[in-house]
Amino acid sequence: MYSEISAAELETQLKDGKSINLIDVREPDEWQEGHIKEARSIPLSELQDRISELQQGDQEIVLICRSGGRSGKACDFLQAQGYKVVNVTGGMLQWPGEVAFGS
């Protein structure tokens, strides 16, 4: 089973300056409507083709979507490939911090 973190815990870690390998797996239109500025957009539909873009050193990969469902599927897939992953429970619906817009 993979690890989980709440959106509020994620915000605290980012505010504290922790370097986080954060991937937003929502589709491009959802990304445009608002995302965490530290995140990178790799939609779930493209994840398998773009898997080489995920890893950043030994950092675990933190995945977020709208509510936690798609990021959970991404975690299942990536964990099976041997990656260390963390799912953001509640996703962007629970995100208490600021959001960035556009690309």
Question: What's 23's DSSP letter?
Answer: E
- Which residue is catalytic, options 36, 42, 44, 65? 65
- Block residue for tokens 């873009």: 53
Catalytic residue at 65?
yes
Cβ atoms of residues 74 and 25 within 8 Å: yes
Positions marked active-site: 65
